[in-house]
Structure 1
């Protein structure tokens, strides 16, 4: 009844605004609604046993002294502890609530909580507190638990309706789930507040859903990674304004790790300055540290990021994905990472992939749609979970011509066990359905399937159950009841320790020049070169034959120790290249080419 009243209220409000034009906020929106805390979100911290972050917004931007009241469930609110909150007034873009041009954004860290304990809480200001809500802190023990994994809700128009419905379904099926993981792209446009309003199903927004609550996102702690649709302005005004997550790698937002039961979750950012070598190195060092600590404790290691390096759809040949695959495939395999949970490609796919891009063929069929596998060494499970709404479902890539010799990938999806973008009946999609939305309007039976994955983890087993629900967002209707599309159980006898380095293995050469601009004959500069192994450790090159190369011996000379000297100046400005090669009996590694500019002095 309350939802129907609010819906009617805001319909009338919208008609008023259309008829009479935009009016001041307090004139067009009920005062109680402007002060009511909305878009309440719980964010995972690096210590979920004792801490949690809480965010919310209000339409009223004059409220002061915000706070959070927290008390143990089963005790009286009079025992509540008070935590002060931060507040920031921000202009917002594209709110679909009439008259809204700015909001207050609030954030608070709740700390010194008891592990494995249920708490009640309220947020707001003295004169306008929220209704009572609850959360539960993580256990310290290694007991089995379940979390819900969504990829790319990517709010956009009516497609938000599928997001609301799939949350309600997941909540009903897994009432004891302990947190949510979202693999990026929470909205379609990073700072579009109207999309954030539909993400939280905020009353009064254009997509407000009275049929499906879509409030699970406000009841469980959320861990998320940054997607390409989240990354504008480092997420400010969008993902990092609506949630507060840690950033443990300097200069890289949304990089954090946390232990939960028998697992260690390591959230990396493949979107923010993705090809920056310094940031790659910093994230690699962070990953190495977290994996080492987790393995010492016997924990599963689960990496969360947005863009998959192994997937079943057509982002596979994107230049940044190829570069990321060339870098991260070996790192993940050699560290012995167990599982990589991704989004971005709007496809359901999985496979155990070795560092050379081939499949570790260990999966066996138990029954239709039910599979099991022993945990392989040095072949992480790369898993992509379609999408949490109905916005789009990508087609498979149909050619292998883009694959170069240095790309660690097998042709024709040879690295996968499952790929929902392929036609039903294909060996990688034996029972279907096919999720490729190129079929929409072509196949009269085509349906879009928002997806969630329930992941249950115990000390010796991970079970991933992917559920599809046929949904029409335009009519807000379930077309096909929720069904199990795929179940995979991974079992282990011990902890993969990662590859022990007995012989250094050179992966790349990092090169630089003391100067790259030359203006006269005999001017010189030194090429500095450093060897890097597969985990970005410094590698001694004494066992390699190091040689220095150029594409322009007419103009420059490069000595055996890497000194570049100009021997002839051109008549006009000219660029030349230099690079380094290191070789032994097993391999030759070439560096990137450095550009030198020859600029003759003006006459």
Structure 2
């Protein structure tokens, strides 16, 4: 055909063009690999990811006074915010509460962490009405948080629920977020949340505190927290001695009603028929045992819950706290403390009511739990009514008059352990075990629990 090219020459040209295109792609790919940033360089630096700004963050409710008539809130900004405030009003069904808001000036504390300088601000709302829902926000007059809500405690011993979690500690935002959020999803009207120490792994690394606040998010704005320090909230100082890390007190506004020198780490709160006592078992254990004995001599509340980091009965090998047990357990026995909620051992163990070394009627229920991903192996012991390994857990505890109902649930929300305590006048509590039929979570072991 006139003007046609022989077939062989056509294929040769096509092949050449294909080879040239392929070569260009290879060269382009090599050039991209040389110029593209490595994956590790894409990670947002902590100083950027957790940097403060004029917009309030790390907003958290706590108590420093009576939960019936006060509420404390603490938050962080950058150093440009020198004067901060909170606004509060009684909650209403619509937006008109804003016409009735009042302002409370904040106390501002300059603070420098390993990520740089910041300001922490705190307000204690006072003169509140018991059993009332309030709305509040925090800011500087121009940059405000959203409006959040909380409800003051009732004057009466009305039924309520609270949550308790053990060590969050590691991979906090990645692995702990779903646990604390599941706790709130199961009981959205929680009165408070107990953190039994080791909230973080390295207390001097502010990015870990940033993860901790970010994981709970707005839950901290609506549910008051009652934290106690663990050993990881302590660190060596320049003089070689261990001390509470400087990150603790600026970000929590807690009671100062414990022994001198342990303010905001050793304290108590009375709420709707329950006395909640926080102990700092990292230091001054003898002094706190004596303080606790006197505190419980005149306790008008029906129920007593104590929380501290180190267990009275350990779940892991080589971690027994004999001296602590010898100091505190006689006080718990004497005053019939109902629950002792602890962490530290990165596994789960729960007793029956205990008044001696082994299980028998009378006394206290001891719990060791963990909510973060760091796990230890359980060493089975006679005191354990239920145990578990490699399981992230949260506990929901309901107080209903003469009944206390306890549930421990996995990160998936599955029931792992449960019991009920029934209060008897001038006698030990009655324990009713409601352990689910599922096997205990053990490493390479599938066995039924020791429940009754």
Closer, same or farther in 2 for the Cα pair 1:184/1:172, shift >3 Å?
same
Separation of aligned partners in 2, 1:119 and 1:466: 30
Cα distance in 2 for partners of 1:71, 1:353 equals 44
Q: Is the 8 A contact 2:107 2:123 kept in 1?
A: yes
Residue 250 of structure 2 is aligned to residue 241 of structure 1 = yes
The equivalent of 2:375 in structure 1 is 393
Q: Secondary structure at the match of 1:129?
A: coil
Shift, 1:482, TM fit: 2.3
User: Alignment length, in residue pairs?
Assistant: 379
Instruction: Provide closer, same or farther for how the CA distance between residues 47 and 147 of structure 1 changes in structure 2, counting only shifts above 3 A.
Output: same
Task: Tell me the distance in 2 between the aligned counterparts of 1:353 and 1:311.
Answer: 16
Separation of aligned partners in 2, 1:449 and 1:354: 24
Correspondence list, 1:48-447, <5 A: 48-58=67-77, 60-74=78-92, 76-93=97-114, 95=115, 101-154=116-169, 156=170, 158-201=171-214, 214-232=217-235, 234-248=243-257, 249-253=259-263, 254-274=265-285, 280-281=286-287, 283-294=288-299, 297-314=300-317, 316-317=319-320, 321-352=321-352, 354-360=354-360, 362=361, 376=362, 379-385=363-369, 387-390=370-373, 392-397=374-379, 413-420=381-388, 435=389
CA contact (8 A) 1:162 1:450 kept: no
Encode CA deviations 1:247-271: one digit per residue, 9 max, x unaligned. Answer: 3211223111111112111111111
SS at match of 2:156: coil
2:167–2:372 CA contact under 8 A, matched in 1: yes
CA distance in 1, matches of 2:198, 2:314: 17
User: 1 CA distance for matches of 2:229 and 2:318?
Assistant: 17
Q: Is the 8 A contact 1:90 1:103 kept in 2?
A: yes
Q: For 1:111-165, what per-residue CA distance to the aligned partner results, in whole angstroms no more than 9, with x for missing partners?
A: 11111111111111112121111111111111110001111111x3x44322211
Q: Secondary structure at the match of 1:286?
A: helix
Q: Does 1:486 align with 2:428?
A: no
Please point out which of 393, 398, 404 is paired with 1:462. 404
Deviation per residue, 1:448-467 (Å, 9 max, x gap): 43211000012211111000
Give the TM-score normalised by structure 2.
Answer: 0.77
Shift of 1:340: 0.8
Greater per-residue helix proportion: 2
Runs (5+) with no aligned partner, structure 2: 1-36, 238-242, 430-452
Alpha carbons of 1:315 and 1:339: their partners in 2 closer, same or farther (altered >3 Å)?
A: farther
Please say if 1:44 is aligned against 2:63. Answer: yes
Q: CA deviation at 1:352?
A: 3.6
The offset of 1:81, in angstroms, is 2.0
What RMSD over aligned residues (CA atoms) do the two structures have, in Å? 2.8
Separation in 2, partners of 1:193, 1:87: 19
Change (3 A) 1:236 1:312: closer
> More relative contact order in 1 or in 2 (CA 8 Å, sep 6+)?
2
- Whole-Å Cα distance in 2 between the matches of residues 460 and 291 of structure 1? 19
Structure 1 residues 89 and 315 mapped into 2: Cα distance closer, same or farther (>3 Å)? farther
CA deviations on 1:574-599 (whole Å, 9 max, x unpaired) are xxxxxxxxxxxxxxxxxxxxxxxxxx
Deviation at 1:305, TM superposition (A): 0.9
SS in structure 1 of the partner of residue 153 of structure 2: coil
Unaligned runs of 5+ in 1: 1-13, 96-100, 202-208, 275-279, 363-375, 398-411, 421-434, 436-447, 470-480, 499-603
Cα distance, 1:78 vs structure 2: 2.5
Task: Output the TM-score relative to the length of structure 1.
Answer: 0.59
